Amino acid sequence: MVLDETPVVPDSDVPLVGGAGERERRFLVGPQSRGFELGLILSVFMEFLRGFRTLHFVGPCVTVFGSARFPESHRWYQLARGVGGKLADAGFTVMTGGGPGIMEAANRGAKEAGGHSVGCNIILPFEQHANPWLDTVVNFEHFFVRKTMLIKYSYGFVVMPGGFGTFDEIFEALTLIQTKKIKDFPMVLVGKEFWKPLVEDVFRDRLLEEATISPGDLDLVMVTDSPDEAVEFIRQIAQRRFGLKYGKKPQKRWFLGE
């Protein structure tokens, strides 16, 4: 069998976001022309570089994950808002995916508390737009670049209730922690009622029972309903394991294009 090297062009049944959405979809449907793939590699490189040069200066971050779909009136929105405020009070920069819902709530809480608020926004054909509570925002075309930034510049994770995207971020982060790619990162799941089926029914009663995870893997996450408890857990671990202390932020250098 010989691979047909004719570029595969995706169907047009889903709305796109200009050239970015079209390139993303075309990239994921199989081999493309050498010129197209070289161009995409260069665009990914520039996306990484833009993220590195921007996020290098935002200070020690804690990333808050969660659904984009909760309105301001929802209890999870208000809880995330409280978490953002407590993180800012503890001296952390609050970083999120930059969108609405939980992300907006955490960024808003940080801003209202006088802290710094950062968003790594993904360009999507629906649902996602940068929220108005951001001091710094970086827009990304590719999920894998965005997720790398959210993890690379964070000293801990707070995970609020969410959907497929949130679960994707949880399991990628847990895999990196479990395999020691990132060492002993504090991860807090906020919302005991929401997370109970995952932790007890899936992790403990299914995965541990089938020996697909180790008993110690259950200690990789903390579950709480308290913003104070979540932030204190992260603060203690971040200061002890990463040597974080209050001081000056790195200074930008003009000759590096910063």
pLDDT digits (tens, 9 = 90+) for 76-101: 999 999 999 999 999 999 999 999 99
Q: What CA–CA distance (Å, rounded) separates 176 from 203?
A: 17
Mean pLDDT calculated for residue range 13-19? 46
Separation of first and last alpha carbons in the chain: 51
Residue 11 pLDDT = 47
Q: DSSP H helical segments within the chain, as ranges? A: 18-27, 34-55, 75-89, 102-112, 143-152, 164-178, 192-196, 227-242
3-class secondary-structure state, position 230: helix
pTM listed for this prediction? 0.84
State the amino acid at position 197 in one-letter form: P
Residue 159 DSSP class: E
Confidence band of 185 (pLDDT split at 50, 70, 90)? confident
Residue 25 pLDDT = 80
Average pLDDT score over the chain:
87
Point out which residues pair with 119 in neighbouring strands. 96, 137
Instruction: Name the CATH code of domain 50-242 (choices 3.40.50.450, 3.40.50.410, 3.30.300.30, 3.90.420.10).
Output: 3.40.50.450
Listed residue (186, 181, 189) closest to 240, CA to CA:
186
